[in-house]
Structure 1
């Protein structure tokens, strides 16, 4: 049984390090398990991993991960970094990757698996990308095949 009822929030500062996505995933698993939201783990891990990996690839310096449950069945996951450029799916303009593409599929996963998403520039520079997962909603894995 969860010891803290929503709303709750956790913030994790991550260094510019290739291990950051793994640290984010393990932290996320522990938080969701502690709050009896483990059924969101698979989708939330995929989303967090993609956003933190992109922060590491495209921004210099640290990034941050914020986990928040505004309601018992909803998880909002946010990642901020120093790069001010908002990626295409967060601007509503994403074209499907070509079949032979070796990269560029990750943000399609975000689009298919997040129940909602958004982005905003940060006043001090950089950006915040956020996604939401809802208990009972399924990632559209069939669309990926």
Structure 2
């Protein structure tokens, strides 16, 4: 059996080193960043799959108290189906405990089957006591401009 030439071994070693470096780069930026990612994922999933009551529970408690959702408003959310939820990027300042991201949401009226696009800016606040992120921007307005 013939051993691979030194150039081949060097190339394999370089590839392995690059893979190890890439995996190391995937390491978490910390518990706050992980919690933000999980919160945003849960929020977008709730909106995308029509769990508006679950999404309501992710809003900051002070916001919910100041802007209570009526049964009629909740029924309006139940009359639409979200066809997509696209993250268009955002900014976060983990030190300050704030984050924001712009999203585009495809909305289909269940009665007319008309689809439209809604834009929404999420704003998030880190609650140090609860060790969690709260959404402070309220529910998306699917009826803007109507």
Structure of greater Rg: 2
Whether TM-score is above 0.5 comes out as: no
> TM-score by structure 2 length?
0.33
